[in-house]
Amino acid sequence: MYTSFYGLKEKPFNLNPDPSYLFWSSGHENAYTHLEYAITENKGFGVITGEVGSGKTTLINHLIHQIPKDLHLALINNPDVSPAQLLKMICTEYELDTTGDDKASLLENIYEFLIQTYANQQRAILIIDEAQNLPAETIEEIRMLSNREAEKEHLIQIILVGQPELKEKLQRRSLRQFTQRVSVHAHLGGLTADDVNRYIRHRLKVAGADNPELFTEEAIQALHTYSEGIPRLINILCDTALVYGFADELQSIDRPVIDQVMTDRKSGGILLAEQQAGTGNIQETISERMAGGTDKDSLSAMEKRLRSLEHQVQLLGTLTENLEQQLNYLGNHRSEQDQLLREMLQLLKENLNSRFKMTAKAYQLREKYLLSRQQPPPASPPPSFFSRLRKKK
């Protein structure tokens, strides 16, 4: 939608963990160094933890691309399974026979594979992502799997990657035997303010941006505050801000755009409590801006913003019409998948409607301001335009 407008070859803030966009903050360098050390020195257990969206999976994907060919890798992404199910998943990853799916047969196949791999002077690595979801009994099975060792070497290296809840789980007394075997641990926190600045510029550069200063310093400061330095949240806010900027035909993204994005997300009810605390009160902000400066300056700034809002509402009206058509179609062609899609589209429609309500509130505040200055309000938008939007509610 906005790529050509901002001179981008692709969207720079997608959420998929693309290694080509990997940004080396000090925290990521530290975590990756720990991973390299664990693999190079053949340490038995390694644990990498980090907040949701901090870049753990992107780091693992980069590591996978760097692993030498003599290392046999098994990657498990959905570990909320029983011990027997995990063993079967490991066999599948190592391309081992799973026809005898009882636990004893699976273990025997894995042990034979590990011994043969060691005899061939090769190594095996097991990486478990989202490891905070591992049941306690499955963690114990992983520990038992590592019990088979050569005289001086581990037959398998195991790296657990997960959210901070993984640390809490491993601190349980019942898992102390496992925890005592963890030789390498690193934690990924949020980016610093300087890292956020470099992170945004880095992703814009990779995406082919002509203007590395697309986000102003004030906007970047706001992004750091609202996101708490979590890359995934930064991506979500930046991507949405670029959509808003495209709708308003802005050549750069400044602080008010970021504030607007956060206000809309707050009104949609999808923010965590700690994120909501930083959004402030948009009505107070608008009132303060209206009160400052001369009447002429205030009116000029307001009219400019209202023209942008009208353009934005026009865009939202088109999107809402398209959603209505899709919802009506899905209502007449029901299936289980269609029902799920219908519910998702309904949520999106409600979010668009909340933006329309906020725009209407901005017009009301403008009218109050003009009345307080005893000036006639400018011509209101064509009634047919808003009546059409109200019918979409």
Are 7 and 146 in contact by the 8 Å Cβ rule? The answer is no
Q: What is the Cα–Cα distance from 366 to 286, expressed in whole angstroms?
A: 9
Query: Quick one: average pLDDT of 249-258?
Result: 92
Residues 6+ apart with CB under 8 A from 49: 56, 161, 162, 163, 164, 166, 167, 185, 186, 187, 188
Asked whether the predicted pLDDT for residue 139 surpasses 90, the reply is yes
Q: What is the Cα–Cα distance from 162 to 142, expressed in whole angstroms?
A: 15
DSSP letter (8 states) at residue 240? H
DSSP string for 166-205: HHHHHTSGGGHHHHTTEEEEEEE-PPPHHHHHHHHHHHHH
Structure token pair of residue 104: 């004893």
CA atoms within 13 A on the CB side of 122: 15
Higher per-residue confidence, 268 vs 124: 124
DSSP letter (8 states) at residue 253? B
Asked whether the predicted pLDDT for residue 393 surpasses 50, the reply is no
Q: Where are the domains of the chain?
A: 1-16+192-268, 26-188
Higher per-residue confidence, 388 vs 203: 203
Domain range 1-16+192-268, CATH architecture: Orthogonal Bundle (1.10)
Asked whether the predicted pLDDT for residue 310 surpasses 90, the reply is no
For residue range 159-216, what is the model confidence (pLDDT) as tens digits? Answer: 999 999 999 999 999 998 888 888 899 998 899 999 999 999 999 999 998 888 899 9
The answer to which of 61-70, 129-138, 171-180, 329-338 has the lowest mean pLDDT is: 329-338
Report the chain's mean pLDDT, rounded to a whole number: 78
Place of tokens 């060792």: 149
Specify burial of residue 206 (Cβ count, 10 A radius: 0-12, 13-18, 19+). Answer: middle
Which long-range contacts (C-beta less than 8 Å, at least 24 apart) are formed by 293-298?
A: 295/373, 295/375, 298/369
Taking residue 219's Cβ as centre, other Cβ atoms within 10 Å add up to: 23
**Percentage of the chain surpassing pLDDT 90?**
36
Are 225 and 64 in contact by the 8 Å Cβ rule? The answer is no
The answer to which of 24-28, 264-268, 279-283 has the lowest mean pLDDT is: 279-283
- Indicate the pLDDT class of residue 67, thresholds 50, 70 and 90: confident
- Indicate the pLDDT class of residue 20, thresholds 50, 70 and 90: confident
Q: Cα dist. 102→77, 93, 98, 108, 142 in Å?
A: 22, 17, 9, 10, 17
CATH of domain 26-188: 3.40.50.300
pTM over 0.85: no
Are 110 and 126 in contact by the 8 Å Cβ rule? The answer is no
Q: What are phi and psi of 185, to 5 degrees?
A: -145, 135
Per 3-state DSSP, the chain is made up of helix, strand and coil in percentages (nearest 5) of 60, 10, 30
Structure token pair of residue 285: 């902000």
Q: What is the Cα–Cα distance from 312 to 304, expressed in whole angstroms?
A: 12
SS3 340: helix
Q: Cα dist. 253→82, 265, 384 in Å?
A: 48, 17, 31
**Percentage of the chain surpassing pLDDT 70?**
67
Structure token pair of residue 364: 């009301």
